[in-house]
Structure 1
Amino acid sequence: MAREFMLQLAFLILTLSILYVVHNLRKRPPQLRFRNRTRDNHQSNRHLVQGSRLLARARSISQRPQTMAHARNAIIEADQALSLSPRDPAAHILKALALDLMGHRTAALSVKRAELKLAVNRRRRVDSAVEDLVEAVRLSEGRNTAALCSLGECYEWKEMKEKAKEAFQRALDLEPESVKAHNGLDRLGP
Protein backbone atom coordinates (compact mmCIF):
# COMPACT_ATOMS: atom_id res chain seq x y z
CA MET A 1 0.00 0.00 0.00
CA ALA A 2 2.80 2.43 0.78
CA ARG A 3 4.43 1.50 -2.51
CA GLU A 4 1.24 2.30 -4.47
CA PHE A 5 0.90 5.60 -2.63
CA MET A 6 4.48 6.59 -3.50
CA LEU A 7 3.94 5.60 -7.15
CA GLN A 8 0.74 7.67 -7.36
CA LEU A 9 2.47 10.62 -5.69
CA ALA A 10 5.34 10.39 -8.22
CA PHE A 11 2.87 10.36 -11.13
CA LEU A 12 1.01 13.32 -9.65
CA ILE A 13 4.23 15.32 -9.28
CA LEU A 14 5.30 14.38 -12.82
CA THR A 15 1.92 15.39 -14.25
CA LEU A 16 1.90 18.73 -12.41
CA SER A 17 5.45 19.53 -13.52
CA ILE A 18 4.58 18.74 -17.16
CA LEU A 19 1.51 20.98 -16.95
CA TYR A 20 3.60 23.76 -15.43
CA VAL A 21 6.24 23.53 -18.19
CA VAL A 22 3.64 23.42 -20.98
CA HIS A 23 1.78 26.38 -19.50
CA ASN A 24 4.96 28.48 -19.27
CA LEU A 25 6.23 27.48 -22.73
CA ARG A 26 2.98 28.61 -24.28
CA LYS A 27 3.39 32.07 -22.75
CA ARG A 28 7.07 32.60 -23.50
CA PRO A 29 7.50 32.70 -27.28
CA PRO A 30 5.30 35.77 -27.91
CA GLN A 31 7.23 37.65 -25.24
CA LEU A 32 10.54 36.65 -26.77
CA ARG A 33 9.34 37.52 -30.26
CA PHE A 34 8.16 40.91 -29.05
CA ARG A 35 11.52 41.63 -27.43
CA ASN A 36 13.44 40.67 -30.56
CA ARG A 37 11.12 42.72 -32.75
CA THR A 38 11.47 45.82 -30.60
CA ARG A 39 15.25 45.40 -30.40
CA ASP A 40 15.47 45.11 -34.21
CA ASN A 41 13.15 48.09 -34.55
CA HIS A 42 15.34 50.19 -32.25
CA GLN A 43 18.48 49.22 -34.18
CA SER A 44 16.75 49.94 -37.48
CA ASN A 45 15.65 53.36 -36.22
CA ARG A 46 19.18 54.07 -35.04
CA HIS A 47 20.53 53.31 -38.53
CA LEU A 48 17.81 55.48 -40.09
CA VAL A 49 18.65 58.43 -37.84
CA GLN A 50 22.36 58.08 -38.56
CA GLY A 51 21.68 57.81 -42.30
CA SER A 52 19.43 60.88 -42.20
CA ARG A 53 22.15 62.86 -40.44
CA LEU A 54 24.70 61.79 -43.03
CA LEU A 55 22.34 62.71 -45.86
CA ALA A 56 21.68 66.14 -44.33
CA ARG A 57 25.41 66.68 -43.91
CA ALA A 58 25.98 65.63 -47.54
CA ARG A 59 23.42 68.17 -48.75
CA SER A 60 24.96 70.98 -46.73
CA ILE A 61 28.52 70.43 -48.00
CA SER A 62 29.48 72.06 -51.27
CA GLN A 63 32.61 69.95 -51.90
CA ARG A 64 31.83 67.04 -54.21
CA PRO A 65 34.12 64.33 -52.69
CA GLN A 66 32.79 64.87 -49.17
CA THR A 67 29.20 64.95 -50.43
CA MET A 68 29.70 61.62 -52.19
CA ALA A 69 31.32 60.06 -49.11
CA HIS A 70 28.48 61.14 -46.82
CA ALA A 71 25.85 59.99 -49.33
CA ARG A 72 27.61 56.63 -49.67
CA ASN A 73 27.63 56.24 -45.88
CA ALA A 74 23.92 57.13 -45.79
CA ILE A 75 23.28 54.30 -48.27
CA ILE A 76 25.22 51.91 -46.04
CA GLU A 77 23.10 52.94 -43.04
CA ALA A 78 19.93 52.52 -45.12
CA ASP A 79 21.05 49.03 -46.17
CA GLN A 80 21.66 48.08 -42.55
CA ALA A 81 18.21 49.39 -41.59
CA LEU A 82 16.70 47.41 -44.48
CA SER A 83 18.43 44.24 -43.35
CA LEU A 84 16.72 44.61 -39.95
CA SER A 85 13.28 45.69 -41.20
CA PRO A 86 12.95 45.21 -44.97
CA ARG A 87 9.36 46.51 -45.16
CA ASP A 88 10.13 49.87 -43.59
CA PRO A 89 9.46 52.53 -46.25
CA ALA A 90 11.65 55.12 -44.50
CA ALA A 91 14.78 53.10 -45.23
CA HIS A 92 13.83 52.78 -48.90
CA ILE A 93 13.19 56.52 -49.12
CA LEU A 94 16.52 57.32 -47.45
CA LYS A 95 18.34 55.06 -49.90
CA ALA A 96 16.57 56.59 -52.91
CA LEU A 97 17.36 60.13 -51.72
CA ALA A 98 21.03 59.28 -51.23
CA LEU A 99 21.25 57.66 -54.68
CA ASP A 100 19.55 60.70 -56.16
CA LEU A 101 22.05 63.01 -54.45
CA MET A 102 24.89 60.95 -55.90
CA GLY A 103 23.46 61.46 -59.38
CA HIS A 104 22.11 57.95 -59.92
CA ARG A 105 18.56 59.09 -60.69
CA THR A 106 17.68 56.57 -63.38
CA ALA A 107 19.56 53.79 -61.68
CA ALA A 108 17.83 54.62 -58.38
CA LEU A 109 14.44 54.26 -60.09
CA SER A 110 15.41 50.95 -61.70
CA VAL A 111 16.74 49.58 -58.42
CA LYS A 112 13.61 50.71 -56.58
CA ARG A 113 11.34 49.12 -59.21
CA ALA A 114 13.29 45.87 -58.98
CA GLU A 115 13.12 45.86 -55.17
CA LEU A 116 9.36 46.46 -55.29
CA LYS A 117 8.90 43.60 -57.75
CA LEU A 118 10.85 41.29 -55.48
CA ALA A 119 8.93 42.42 -52.40
CA VAL A 120 5.58 41.72 -54.06
CA ASN A 121 6.32 38.24 -55.33
CA ARG A 122 9.93 37.13 -55.29
CA ARG A 123 9.55 33.82 -57.12
CA ARG A 124 7.62 35.07 -60.14
CA ARG A 125 9.31 38.44 -60.54
CA VAL A 126 13.01 37.59 -60.27
CA ASP A 127 13.52 37.51 -64.04
CA SER A 128 11.86 40.89 -64.47
CA ALA A 129 13.87 42.31 -61.56
CA VAL A 130 17.10 41.00 -63.12
CA GLU A 131 16.26 42.87 -66.33
CA ASP A 132 15.70 46.10 -64.38
CA LEU A 133 18.90 45.66 -62.40
CA VAL A 134 21.01 44.88 -65.46
CA GLU A 135 19.61 48.10 -66.99
CA ALA A 136 20.43 50.03 -63.79
CA VAL A 137 24.02 48.74 -63.86
CA ARG A 138 24.30 49.66 -67.54
CA LEU A 139 22.92 53.16 -66.97
CA SER A 140 25.30 53.79 -64.08
CA GLU A 141 28.19 52.38 -66.13
CA GLY A 142 28.77 49.69 -63.50
CA ARG A 143 29.23 52.18 -60.64
CA ASN A 144 26.02 51.54 -58.68
CA THR A 145 26.81 49.35 -55.68
CA ALA A 146 23.17 48.97 -54.66
CA ALA A 147 22.18 47.70 -58.11
CA LEU A 148 25.11 45.27 -58.19
CA CYS A 149 24.26 43.88 -54.75
CA SER A 150 20.58 43.45 -55.65
CA LEU A 151 21.60 41.83 -58.92
CA GLY A 152 23.84 39.45 -56.98
CA GLU A 153 20.93 38.52 -54.71
CA CYS A 154 18.69 37.84 -57.70
CA TYR A 155 21.33 35.64 -59.30
CA GLU A 156 21.70 33.88 -55.96
CA TRP A 157 17.92 33.19 -55.84
CA LYS A 158 18.10 31.85 -59.39
CA GLU A 159 21.00 29.61 -58.26
CA MET A 160 23.44 31.26 -60.69
CA LYS A 161 26.31 31.32 -58.21
CA GLU A 162 29.09 32.44 -60.54
CA LYS A 163 27.17 35.47 -61.79
CA ALA A 164 26.12 36.26 -58.20
CA LYS A 165 29.74 36.14 -57.02
CA GLU A 166 30.79 38.34 -59.93
CA ALA A 167 28.13 40.95 -59.10
CA PHE A 168 29.00 40.98 -55.40
CA GLN A 169 32.72 41.22 -56.19
CA ARG A 170 32.15 44.16 -58.55
CA ALA A 171 30.18 45.87 -55.76
CA LEU A 172 33.07 45.26 -53.34
CA ASP A 173 35.55 46.67 -55.84
CA LEU A 174 33.51 49.88 -55.94
CA GLU A 175 32.74 50.07 -52.25
CA PRO A 176 34.99 47.88 -50.04
CA GLU A 177 32.90 48.52 -46.90
CA SER A 178 29.60 47.30 -48.44
CA VAL A 179 27.93 45.08 -45.85
CA LYS A 180 25.46 43.66 -48.37
CA ALA A 181 28.24 42.57 -50.76
CA HIS A 182 30.31 41.01 -47.96
CA ASN A 183 27.28 39.08 -46.69
CA GLY A 184 26.45 37.91 -50.20
CA LEU A 185 29.96 36.57 -50.81
CA ASP A 186 29.96 34.92 -47.39
CA ARG A 187 26.65 33.15 -48.19
CA LEU A 188 27.98 31.92 -51.54
CA GLY A 189 31.22 30.62 -50.05
CA PRO A 190 34.54 30.10 -51.85
Structure 2
Amino acid sequence: MVDMVNDILLQAVLILVVVFMFLLMYNVPQKALSKISFGSRTNLQAKRHFVQGAQLLEKARSAKDGVAASSLAKSAAEEADKAVGLNPKDAAAHILKALALELQGYKTSALDALDVALSPMAVKSLSDEERGDALFKRAELKVAMSRTERVDSAIADLVDSVKFRTDNPRAFFVSGQCYETKGMTVEAKKAYEDALRVQPMFTVAQEALDRLGS
Protein backbone atom coordinates (compact mmCIF):
# COMPACT_ATOMS: atom_id res chain seq x y z
CA MET A 1 0.00 0.00 0.00
CA VAL A 2 2.83 2.37 0.92
CA ASP A 3 4.58 1.55 -2.34
CA MET A 4 1.43 2.34 -4.27
CA VAL A 5 1.04 5.71 -2.52
CA ASN A 6 4.67 6.53 -3.23
CA ASP A 7 4.19 5.55 -6.84
CA ILE A 8 1.20 7.88 -7.15
CA LEU A 9 3.15 10.74 -5.58
CA LEU A 10 6.02 10.07 -7.95
CA GLN A 11 3.68 10.27 -10.92
CA ALA A 12 2.26 13.54 -9.60
CA VAL A 13 5.75 15.01 -9.38
CA LEU A 14 6.56 13.85 -12.90
CA ILE A 15 3.37 15.43 -14.16
CA LEU A 16 3.94 18.75 -12.43
CA VAL A 17 7.61 19.04 -13.29
CA VAL A 18 8.27 17.21 -16.55
CA VAL A 19 4.98 17.17 -18.40
CA PHE A 20 3.88 20.62 -17.31
CA MET A 21 7.14 22.03 -18.67
CA PHE A 22 6.60 20.11 -21.90
CA LEU A 23 3.10 21.49 -22.28
CA LEU A 24 4.36 25.02 -21.76
CA MET A 25 7.06 24.62 -24.40
CA TYR A 26 4.81 23.26 -27.12
CA ASN A 27 1.58 25.17 -26.55
CA VAL A 28 -0.32 22.14 -25.45
CA PRO A 29 -3.16 22.82 -22.96
CA GLN A 30 -1.36 23.33 -19.68
CA LYS A 31 -4.01 22.60 -17.05
CA ALA A 32 -5.75 19.56 -18.46
CA LEU A 33 -3.57 17.19 -16.50
CA SER A 34 -4.37 18.82 -13.16
CA LYS A 35 -8.02 17.85 -13.55
CA ILE A 36 -7.34 14.12 -13.58
CA SER A 37 -8.35 12.20 -10.50
CA PHE A 38 -5.48 10.16 -9.13
CA GLY A 39 -7.95 7.94 -7.29
CA SER A 40 -8.65 5.96 -10.43
CA ARG A 41 -6.22 3.18 -11.34
CA THR A 42 -7.25 3.47 -14.98
CA ASN A 43 -6.62 7.21 -15.02
CA LEU A 44 -3.28 6.68 -13.31
CA GLN A 45 -2.25 4.14 -15.93
CA ALA A 46 -3.37 6.52 -18.67
CA LYS A 47 -1.29 9.30 -17.16
CA ARG A 48 1.76 7.03 -16.96
CA HIS A 49 1.50 6.44 -20.70
CA PHE A 50 0.94 10.15 -21.22
CA VAL A 51 4.05 11.03 -19.20
CA GLN A 52 6.13 8.50 -21.10
CA GLY A 53 4.79 9.79 -24.40
CA ALA A 54 5.50 13.40 -23.46
CA GLN A 55 9.05 12.53 -22.48
CA LEU A 56 9.58 10.64 -25.74
CA LEU A 57 8.23 13.52 -27.80
CA GLU A 58 10.48 15.98 -25.97
CA LYS A 59 13.46 13.79 -26.84
CA ALA A 60 12.26 13.52 -30.43
CA ARG A 61 12.08 17.29 -30.77
CA SER A 62 15.60 17.71 -29.47
CA ALA A 63 17.10 14.82 -31.45
CA LYS A 64 19.55 15.94 -34.13
CA ASP A 65 19.28 12.75 -36.13
CA GLY A 66 16.14 12.60 -38.26
CA VAL A 67 15.79 8.84 -38.07
CA ALA A 68 16.08 8.87 -34.29
CA ALA A 69 13.59 11.73 -34.04
CA SER A 70 11.06 9.87 -36.17
CA SER A 71 11.48 6.68 -34.12
CA LEU A 72 11.02 8.56 -30.85
CA ALA A 73 7.99 10.39 -32.21
CA LYS A 74 6.47 7.08 -33.30
CA SER A 75 6.96 5.68 -29.79
CA ALA A 76 5.40 8.85 -28.34
CA ALA A 77 2.35 8.37 -30.56
CA GLU A 78 2.07 4.76 -29.40
CA GLU A 79 2.11 5.84 -25.75
CA ALA A 80 -0.51 8.48 -26.54
CA ASP A 81 -2.67 5.78 -28.14
CA LYS A 82 -2.40 3.70 -24.97
CA ALA A 83 -3.45 6.70 -22.89
CA VAL A 84 -6.38 7.34 -25.23
CA GLY A 85 -7.43 3.71 -25.00
CA LEU A 86 -7.61 3.99 -21.21
CA ASN A 87 -9.17 7.44 -21.07
CA PRO A 88 -10.59 8.57 -24.44
CA LYS A 89 -12.17 11.65 -22.86
CA ASP A 90 -8.79 13.17 -21.97
CA ALA A 91 -8.13 15.80 -24.64
CA ALA A 92 -4.48 16.12 -23.60
CA ALA A 93 -3.73 12.57 -24.76
CA HIS A 94 -5.27 13.26 -28.17
CA ILE A 95 -3.23 16.46 -28.47
CA LEU A 96 -0.06 14.60 -27.55
CA LYS A 97 -0.85 12.11 -30.29
CA ALA A 98 -1.40 14.96 -32.75
CA LEU A 99 1.98 16.51 -31.94
CA ALA A 100 3.76 13.17 -32.30
CA LEU A 101 2.08 12.49 -35.64
CA GLU A 102 2.87 15.98 -36.89
CA LEU A 103 6.53 15.50 -36.07
CA GLN A 104 6.50 12.35 -38.21
CA GLY A 105 4.98 14.32 -41.07
CA TYR A 106 1.50 12.82 -40.77
CA LYS A 107 -0.37 16.12 -40.82
CA THR A 108 -3.74 14.70 -41.87
CA SER A 109 -3.68 12.14 -39.05
CA ALA A 110 -2.52 14.84 -36.62
CA LEU A 111 -5.47 16.96 -37.69
CA ASP A 112 -7.80 14.03 -37.06
CA ALA A 113 -6.42 13.67 -33.52
CA LEU A 114 -6.99 17.36 -32.84
CA ASP A 115 -10.54 17.02 -34.16
CA VAL A 116 -11.15 14.35 -31.52
CA ALA A 117 -9.54 16.51 -28.80
CA LEU A 118 -11.94 19.32 -29.70
CA SER A 119 -14.97 17.07 -30.06
CA PRO A 120 -17.85 17.22 -27.54
CA MET A 121 -16.54 13.98 -26.00
CA ALA A 122 -13.17 15.40 -24.96
CA VAL A 123 -13.28 19.19 -25.14
CA LYS A 124 -14.88 19.47 -21.70
CA SER A 125 -11.56 18.44 -20.16
CA LEU A 126 -10.02 21.69 -21.41
CA SER A 127 -10.24 25.12 -19.84
CA ASP A 128 -11.11 28.07 -22.07
CA GLU A 129 -7.44 29.02 -22.52
CA GLU A 130 -6.48 25.43 -23.30
CA ARG A 131 -9.27 25.20 -25.83
CA GLY A 132 -7.98 28.38 -27.43
CA ASP A 133 -4.50 26.87 -27.71
CA ALA A 134 -5.86 23.67 -29.25
CA LEU A 135 -7.93 25.59 -31.78
CA PHE A 136 -4.88 27.61 -32.74
CA LYS A 137 -2.81 24.47 -33.20
CA ARG A 138 -5.50 22.95 -35.42
CA ALA A 139 -5.62 26.13 -37.50
CA GLU A 140 -1.82 26.09 -37.82
CA LEU A 141 -1.96 22.56 -39.15
CA LYS A 142 -4.65 23.44 -41.66
CA VAL A 143 -2.57 26.36 -42.92
CA ALA A 144 0.58 24.22 -43.02
CA MET A 145 -1.18 21.72 -45.28
CA SER A 146 -1.40 24.52 -47.88
CA ARG A 147 -4.86 23.66 -49.06
CA THR A 148 -6.92 26.64 -50.17
CA GLU A 149 -10.16 24.94 -49.23
CA ARG A 150 -9.01 24.79 -45.61
CA VAL A 151 -8.43 28.55 -45.26
CA ASP A 152 -12.03 29.33 -44.28
CA SER A 153 -11.97 26.51 -41.74
CA ALA A 154 -8.66 27.76 -40.34
CA ILE A 155 -10.06 31.28 -40.00
CA ALA A 156 -13.07 29.92 -38.12
CA ASP A 157 -10.75 28.12 -35.69
CA LEU A 158 -8.63 31.25 -35.24
CA VAL A 159 -11.67 33.45 -34.60
CA ASP A 160 -12.78 31.02 -31.90
CA SER A 161 -9.24 30.69 -30.58
CA VAL A 162 -8.84 34.38 -29.82
CA LYS A 163 -12.20 34.38 -28.07
CA PHE A 164 -10.85 31.83 -25.60
CA ARG A 165 -7.24 33.04 -25.60
CA THR A 166 -6.89 36.78 -26.14
CA ASP A 167 -3.16 36.95 -25.37
CA ASN A 168 -1.81 34.83 -28.24
CA PRO A 169 -0.28 37.18 -30.86
CA ARG A 170 0.48 34.29 -33.20
CA ALA A 171 -3.22 33.49 -33.53
CA PHE A 172 -3.88 37.03 -34.73
CA PHE A 173 -0.86 36.88 -37.04
CA VAL A 174 -1.91 33.62 -38.68
CA SER A 175 -5.40 35.08 -39.04
CA GLY A 176 -3.83 37.96 -40.95
CA GLN A 177 -2.03 35.54 -43.24
CA CYS A 178 -5.27 33.69 -43.94
CA TYR A 179 -7.13 36.91 -44.69
CA GLU A 180 -4.34 37.93 -47.06
CA THR A 181 -4.69 34.60 -48.86
CA LYS A 182 -8.35 35.43 -49.43
CA GLY A 183 -7.54 38.97 -50.56
CA MET A 184 -9.22 40.49 -47.49
CA THR A 185 -6.70 43.28 -46.91
CA VAL A 186 -8.74 45.26 -44.38
CA GLU A 187 -9.29 42.22 -42.18
CA ALA A 188 -5.63 41.22 -42.55
CA LYS A 189 -4.43 44.64 -41.38
CA LYS A 190 -6.77 44.48 -38.39
CA ALA A 191 -5.43 41.04 -37.44
CA TYR A 192 -1.81 42.19 -37.67
CA GLU A 193 -2.66 45.26 -35.58
CA ASP A 194 -4.24 43.00 -32.96
CA ALA A 195 -1.07 40.88 -32.93
CA LEU A 196 0.99 44.01 -32.27
CA ARG A 197 -1.43 45.13 -29.58
CA VAL A 198 -0.76 41.90 -27.72
CA GLN A 199 2.97 41.88 -28.46
CA PRO A 200 4.26 45.31 -29.57
CA MET A 201 7.67 43.89 -30.56
CA PHE A 202 6.19 41.24 -32.85
CA THR A 203 8.44 42.06 -35.79
CA VAL A 204 6.83 39.89 -38.45
CA ALA A 205 3.42 41.44 -37.77
CA GLN A 206 4.88 44.92 -38.15
CA GLU A 207 6.60 43.89 -41.37
CA ALA A 208 3.29 42.55 -42.68
CA LEU A 209 1.58 45.85 -41.90
CA ASP A 210 4.37 47.79 -43.60
CA ARG A 211 4.04 45.55 -46.64
CA LEU A 212 0.30 46.22 -46.80
CA GLY A 213 0.95 49.94 -46.64
CA SER A 214 -0.33 50.57 -43.13
Give the TM bin, normalised by the shorter chain.
0.3 to 0.5
Flag the structure with higher helix content.
1
TM-score normalized by structure 1? 0.44
TM-score, normalised to structure 2's length? 0.39
